Amino acid sequence: MGTASGDRVVRSITDDGAFRVITAMTTETVRGAVAAQEAHGDIARRFGELMTGAILIREAMAPALRVQGILKGKRSRGSLVADSNPDGTSRGLVNFGSKHGELLLGDGVLLQMMRSLPGGTIHQGVIEVPGSASDPAAGGVVSRALMAYMQDSEQIVSTIAVATLLDGDRVVAAGGYIVQLLPEIERGPLMIMTERLQAFEALEEALARPEASPDTLMDELLYGFPFTRLETSPLSFACHCSQARVVESLSTLPRGDIEDLVKGDDVLDITCDYCRKDYQVPPMQLKPLLTTN
């Protein structure tokens, strides 16, 4: 995979109406998020896969809504967070538990997917990742988690694969796909697709090819099936934090603390956890927080 930013998502449907397929390349997006969070090794790989997964779930279930995916170990405090926005931007967060090695290892890894509905309500589903206890180090944990989520929480039969290719700590390529079976499916196409997906086990190999793109993935997945490409849209790493949002986030502090800050003359240094951007908040900017409540 070259360095040209080719992050995109492509949506297609087979002409017989049997399959809906979404493919995505997320290399630059994952690179940006992994760099901002200084993630390494296995954590970087899973973090990247969760980022791609949140994008695919949003595209499949709620393209117009913000989707957040959280992967957490049951017995550790660590978690991975991925935010995917309708404009194609994504950001993420790596919260380490007490010890780095504990993050997401051990049994009972949970996947929580949330989407913010208009009016402030949140739709969410939580599933325990199948098989994570028996083989915690295996790749594919996030793919299994996403597939179980679609089955259990969305009641949609689908195959999902996500992968992050690393060379040392460098993200070489990232991407994935979701193949959704639509209700009107007949047995013939289903058998062909089942065989296709079994033969297509090595997503990582497909992503490693220099010509890899959402279109080449689509062509491979749907080889022999007449299909129509519906839409394609760009993806990128970006954080929508701002001075105003940083100030607003301070409104959750106890009123007495805000009063003390306003009285003092210390400029607050605040770093965005998602993108590591630094903000300086002078005391006068906190004054409006005291008048609003």
Q: Would you tell me which residues interact with Zn ion (CB under 5 A)? A: 239, 241, 272, 274-275, 277
Q: What is the rounded CA–CA span in Å between residue 212 and residue 183?
A: 30
Q: Cα–Cα distance between 40 and 88 in angstroms, integer?
A: 24
8 Å CB contact between 157 and 125 = no
Under 8 Å between Cβ of 82 and 113: no
For the CB of residue 249, give the shortest distance to Zn ion in the complex, in Å.
11
Closest to Zn ion by CB, 21 or 241: 241
Nearer to Zn ion, 77 or 276 (CB): 276
| CB of 246 vs Zn ion, minimal distance in Å | 9
Least distance to Zn ion from the beta carbon of 90, Å?
A: 12
CA distances from 14 to 21, 35, 161, 162, 224 (A): 8, 37, 19, 21, 10
Task: Determine which helix (DSSP H) or strand (DSSP E) holds 234, and give its type and residue range.
Answer: strand 227-234
CB of 271 to Zn ion, least distance (A): 9
Report how far Cα 4 is from the mean position of its chain's Cα atoms: 21
DSSP 8-state symbol, 157: -
Please say which residue, 98 or 242, places its beta carbon nearer to Zn ion. Answer: 242
Provide, rounded to whole angstroms, the least separation between the CB of residue 238 and Zn ion.
9
DSSP state of 117: P
Q: Which CB atom, from 89 or from 153, has the smaller least distance to Zn ion?
A: 89
Residue closer to Zn ion (CB basis): 20 or 91: 91
